[in-house]
Amino acid sequence: MKIVLSVGGSLLNPGRPDFDFIEKLALLLRKLQAKHQFAVVCGGGVPAREQVSHIRKLGGSEFLADETAILCTRMNALLLMASLGDDACPSVAESFREATGAVNSGKIVLMGGTIPGITTDTDAALLAEGIGASRIVNLSNVNGIYTADPRKDKSARKMSRMSFSQLVELASQHDQRKAGTRFIFDLIACKLISRSGIETHFVCGKNLDEVQRAIEGKTHSGTVVK
Of 8 and 17, the one with the shorter C-beta distance to ligand UTP is: 8
Asked if 222 is part of the footprint of ligand UTP (rule: CB under 6 A), the reply reads no
Of 90 and 117, the one with the shorter C-beta distance to ligand UTP is: 117
Asked if 14 is part of the footprint of ligand UTP (rule: CB under 6 A), the reply reads no
Residue 223 sits at φ, ψ, to 5 deg, of: -120, 135
Cα 58 → chain centroid: 29
Q: Nearest to residue 127, comparing CAs of 171, 193, 211, 186?
A: 193
Sheet holding 199-204, edge to edge: 109-111, 37-42, 2-7, 135-140, 199-204, 223-225, 161-162
Residue-wise burial string across 3-30, b where 16 or more C-beta atoms lie within 10 A, e elsewhere: bbbbbbbbbbbeeebbeebbeebbebbb
How near is the Cβ of 177 to ligand UTP at its closest, in Å? 15
CA atoms within 13 A on the CB side of 55: 17
Tell me, by CB under 6 A, how many residues bind ligand UTP: 21
Report d(CA 43, CA 175) in Å as an integer. Answer: 19
Please give the residues from 71 up to 110 whose contact with ligand UTP meets the rule CB under 6 A: 73
Asked if 118 is part of the footprint of ligand UTP (rule: CB under 6 A), the reply reads yes
Of 10 and 143, the one with the shorter C-beta distance to ligand UTP is: 10
Identify the residue among 14, 60, 101, 116 touching ligand UTP (CB under 6 A): 116
Identify the residue among 78, 115, 188, 208 touching ligand UTP (CB under 6 A): 115
Asked if 200 is part of the footprint of ligand UTP (rule: CB under 6 A), the reply reads no
- For residues 17 to 46, the per-residue mask of contacts with ligand UTP, x marking binding by CB under 6 A and - elsewhere, is --------------------------xxx-
